[in-house]
Amino acid sequence: MRILFTKRTFAPMGGSEALTYQFATRLAARGHDVRVVCAQTFNDRPSFETHGVEVIRVRPRGGLLGSLADASTLVDLMPLDDLARAAEDRDLIHNVGREYLDSSLRVAEELDLPIVLTPLAHPGQFHGGDTPADFERYRRATAITTMTEWERGWYGTHGIDPYRLVTTGMGPNASRSHDGAGFRARHGIPADAPIVLFIGRRERYKGFIHLLDAADVVWRRHPDTRFVFIGVPGFYGAVVDEFARYTDERIVEIEKAPSEEKSAALDACTMYAMPSIHETFGIGYLEAWLHGKPVIGGDIPPLREVITHGTDGLVVPQRVDAIAAAVTSLLDDPALCARMGAAGEQKVRDRWDWERVLDRVEDAYARAVGTHVEANEALA
């Protein structure tokens, strides 16, 4: 199948960006003809090929100011002519994360192509994809892929045809590392010190501040515990430096790390904690399970589906006391940690192996192509 992905950035890092990268490169490895159109905001490299994927980069409309506005992700300044040229020989358009959603829908309709959406909506969050205008856009899609059954049902309650909704989930974005000892040595962490790990963009909703403040409570019982935070600042983190309140060597802040270093951190850690209140899925939990580690997530519907509370991790309210209690309970019981980590590792193999995920993505494509009614047929 000839597939066109639309995304603001094509890269193996980040949530929706990593998902698009994995979809595109793995579908290309399965023999599909895959092309990606993304922004050429501050880079002169117009196009290239990677892992069998053709990547076309175009400059947003409006010159420098347009590029700056486009990078905010709140506006769609994709040049329609450029997008149409990239789409005209395709069988299907797949938009991930709602970036360039309006332009993708418009070009799909103009060229009479089926379009698949993976909206990754965060209900209740600013620009979370849950407004009436958003649902009007979703109803124009030929098919929608979701990360969880909860999300699938959520779209169904807003008038989306259930047949056009396919739950695919995702697989881990990390590779299995065995460099945990090296990670500890590189960051001065003793070999026997427990590690509570957060990997993610430092946005307030992800709970990194609450986890940071839970450290004082955890240290009363487990004073050797290290709290490691890996991730670039989001909007809030760029304005307020919460780490300035802590000069303790037991808080380890790593702003940027290559994927190999993140995987090594997962191998080194005792548990992974991201008590977020807005997630579609949370790929970090899968990556922790890939390394046999238990997880702590936020008590929200999508994460209650991903994490089986008490079996492969814990879901907790985004409160300092609740997070500290969860961390302490796992540190108190290493055998429980091991059992939860093993259960999570098995879950990834059973449900979110990438080949299984791609089978479901291809099913969504088959439904989109099979149910798409061409304009000349609709008018006949």
Binned at pLDDT 50, 70 and 90, residue 46 comes out as: confident
pLDDT value of residue 71? 67
Query: Average of pLDDT values for 282-288?
Result: 93
Binned at pLDDT 50, 70 and 90, residue 375 comes out as: low
Asked whether residue 38 falls in the same domain as residue 66, the answer is: yes
Asked whether residue 325 falls in the same domain as residue 369, the answer is: no
End-to-end alpha-carbon separation of the chain, Å?
27
pLDDT value of residue 380? 44
Query: Average of pLDDT values for 278-301?
Result: 94
Q: Are 139 and 156 in contact (CB under 8 A)?
A: no
Decide if pLDDT at 352 tops 60: yes
Query: Average of pLDDT values for 78-88?
Result: 95
Asked whether residue 191 falls in the same domain as residue 87, the answer is: no
Least confident of 35-44, 138-147, 231-240: 231-240
Number of domains in the chain: 2
Asked whether residue 205 falls in the same domain as residue 301, the answer is: yes
The alpha helices in 63-148, defined as continuous H runs, are 63-71, 80-87, 101-111, 132-138
Asked whether residue 347 falls in the same domain as residue 358, the answer is: no
Asked whether residue 160 falls in the same domain as residue 228, the answer is: no
How many whole angstroms separate alpha carbon 202 and alpha carbon 89?
Answer: 40
Asked whether residue 321 falls in the same domain as residue 187, the answer is: yes
106-115 own/partner pairs: CB under 8 Å, 24+ apart:
106/80, 107/80, 107/83, 109/140, 110/84, 111/84, 111/87, 112/374, 112/375, 113/87, 113/372, 114/142, 114/143, 114/368, 114/369, 114/371, 114/372, 115/140, 115/141, 115/142, 115/368
pLDDT digits (tens, 9 = 90+) for 177-225: 999 999 999 999 999 999 999 999 888 899 999 999 999 999 999 999 9
Global pTM reads: 0.83
Count CA atoms within 13 Å of residue 176 on its CB side. 8
The alpha helices in 112-188, defined as continuous H runs, are 132-138, 149-156, 180-186
pLDDT value of residue 378? 47
Domain that holds residue 130: 2-171+354-378
Q: Are 165 and 155 in contact (CB under 8 A)?
A: yes
| CATH code, domain carrying 210 | 3.40.50.2000
Asked whether residue 145 falls in the same domain as residue 234, the answer is: no
Asked whether residue 149 falls in the same domain as residue 188, the answer is: no
Asked whether residue 344 falls in the same domain as residue 362, the answer is: no
Binned at pLDDT 50, 70 and 90, residue 379 comes out as: very low
Binned at pLDDT 50, 70 and 90, residue 16 comes out as: confident
Asked whether residue 167 falls in the same domain as residue 196, the answer is: no
Query: Average of pLDDT values for 73-82?
Result: 86
Query: Average of pLDDT values for 358-363?
Result: 97
Asked whether residue 343 falls in the same domain as residue 367, the answer is: no
pLDDT digits (tens, 9 = 90+) for 264-276: 999 999 999 999 9
Q: Are 5 and 99 in contact (CB under 8 A)?
A: no
Query: Average of pLDDT values for 290-304?
Result: 96
Mean pLDDT highest for which of 37-41, 70-74, 286-290, 369-373? 286-290
